[in-house]
Amino acid sequence: MASTSRATAKPLQVLVLDPPKVLRFKGPFTTIVTTYLKLHNPSSRKVCFKMKSTNPRCYCVRPNSGVVEPGSTVTVATMLQPFRYDPSREVKHKFMVQTRFAPPDTSDLEAMWKKANPGEIMNSKLRCVFEMPKETGKGDESLRLRKPAQPNNPKLASSTSLKKKSRTTPLPLVLLVIGAVFIGFFLGKFTM
């Protein structure tokens, strides 16, 4: 009991975050997907903030740090870089918004954060959720259409697989022809 009374509690977040707990990224994820976080300062003092991520290589955050004036709101753009999305894998990406009341001199924010007392820093954690767009007007049929058809007839299955193989055989032939052309070109250059 005595140890809990000595422990210093972290101060509550002074900024109002919108959204407060979850950053939603809506796919497809073949291009950059951007979501926005609003940081509102309801206090009468300036507040410094910085964004941290568990996966910094996957995101670009602008601005990733700064000062929110009293009564103002700063909008932070969080850009998820393109990647191959696998809905079966669990997403564990998170962001943390760290804030503290601004000291009188905020010209060097990096030095200010290094000198900050851990008891002054307020943290808010945000979970990332990836959402794929819903199929419109198809209902459950759209899910069935995306799955490959499973033939009941074994002869049909074997003929289907032969057709797929015949489509892929011209590629090595094309590569062989291209390779022969390049070899002929280089041999022709060296013999002249």
**137-170 pLDDT tens trace:** 544 444 444 444 444 444 444 444 444 444 545 6
From CA 192, how far away is CA 185, in angstroms rounded?
11
129, 135, 139, 141 alpha-carbon torsion, rounded to 10°: -110
Confidence at residue 144, expressed as pLDDT on a 0 to 100 scale? 41
pLDDT at 70 over 90: yes
pLDDT digits (tens, 9 = 90+) for 129-146: 999 888 655 444 444 444
pLDDT tens per residue, range 80-98: 999 998 888 888 999 999 9
Please tell me the distance from the alpha carbon of residue 101 to that of residue 189, in angstroms, as a whole number: 71
